[in-house]
Amino acid sequence: MSAAGAEGPVSGGAPGDGATPGVAGASARRADGRPSGAAPRVGVVGLGLIGGSALLGLRAAGLVVRGCDRDEAARAWCDALGVPCDRTPEDAARAVDVLLVCVPPHATAAVVAAALAADPDVAVVDVASVKAPVVDELRTRAPEDAGRFLPAHPLAGAESSGHEAAREDLLRGATWAVCPPADDPDGAVDTTAVLLRVSPVLDALDARLLVCTPDEHDRALAATSHAPHVVAGAVAEVAGDAPTGGPVAAVLSGGALRDVTRVAAAPAGLWAEILRANADRTADALEATADRLRAAAEALRAGDHDAVVAGWERGVAAHDRLATARWGTATWEPLTLDDGWEGLLGLGAAGVVVRGLRADGRGGIAGERWAAAG
């Protein structure tokens, strides 16, 4: 359900690296009287690759976890781990403080709405690869509860699926897109209360947070994930089929083809759903890609060497910018914000990743911000 992704920024050894700040200190008091300093109890609905990996990672970090899945095999997997597993999101919601919903995008809003209705205290966060359609549907299904839903998406995954493929370290250090709560998707008026409730759970996975609106998320993912999955399949088809490719090309393929086509093996059903949900933005990204490929083909046929070189150099420069922003060496600096979502969205728009968010005791937010070295 999540785009096949990569690890988050690499730590440069700044103070506090390797820790999971705030895990024991940011849970809001529930009606059941649990102390506000208790580590949040976490439920995971949907025990596929992402949900199963989240459950394993959170358990390894020392949080109290429980699963939830309709599938008998998934519940048996949970049972073998010694982890309780519910059959319905409503049951899971009533037993936890924070519920992580890891179901396909088309089902996310309905599951979130059911969980929010089941318990007036639970905070819910999702992992769907598209955000605006989920938020819009949730606002229709549960307008009174939408403020307790934090839309999110971890940039991690693999071509494999199911709980059998789950790994304890899959989400460790991943970058997560995090959006304002669904009742205020632009972050104009809502408080950061639900973010601060969920933050300890994300901290337990050593998550790096990029705060953005649902529309910003979907536009970015169209270019960085959704369109590249389509392009990967097209490149594989060109190399694998006549007249451009075939058996000889398959045997003579090397690392370039392997790297470019890796995500072409992702499950078609899930990706058709993701593409349908983000169709216009993905089409824009595909058309922009096609324009550049067409220009390269025309330059090659015309023998315009200078144009070929100029296009290549633009690609190198863009690659370097992306690599520095996404995978470069990181330094972590103290962060304080007094303007809530406005400040966090401003940092996100500049590509600044944050972590360890918590209340600063003065009505603001404290944490750390990531900055590329150099």
| DSSP string covering 155-177 | S---S--SGGG--TTTTTT-EEE
Indicate if 223 and 113 belong to the same structural domain: no
Residue 3: which pLDDT band, with cuts at 50, 70 and 90? Answer: very low
Beta bridge partners of 150: 125
Indicate if 16 and 130 belong to the same structural domain: yes
* pLDDT tens string 89-111: 999 999 999 999 999 999 999 99
Q: What is the CATH number of the domain that holds 229?
A: 1.10.3660.10
Final residue in a domain of this structure, among 197, 213, 229: 213
Q: Which of 69-78, 154-163, 312-321 has the lowest mean pLDDT?
A: 154-163
- Residue 325, amino acid: A
Q: What is the CATH number of the domain that holds 82?
A: 3.40.50.720
Residue 79: which pLDDT band, with cuts at 50, 70 and 90? Answer: very high
Q: Residue 255 belongs to what domain range?
A: 217-325
Burial 38-68 (b: 16+ CB within 10 A, else e): ebbbbbbbbbbbbbbbbbbbbbebebbbbbb
Indicate if 189 and 46 belong to the same structural domain: yes
For 28, phi and psi rounded to 5 degrees?
-70, 150
Beta bridge partners of 336: 366
* pLDDT tens string 32-76: 555 556 789 999 999 999 999 999 999 999 999 999 999 999 999
Residue 1: which pLDDT band, with cuts at 50, 70 and 90? Answer: very low
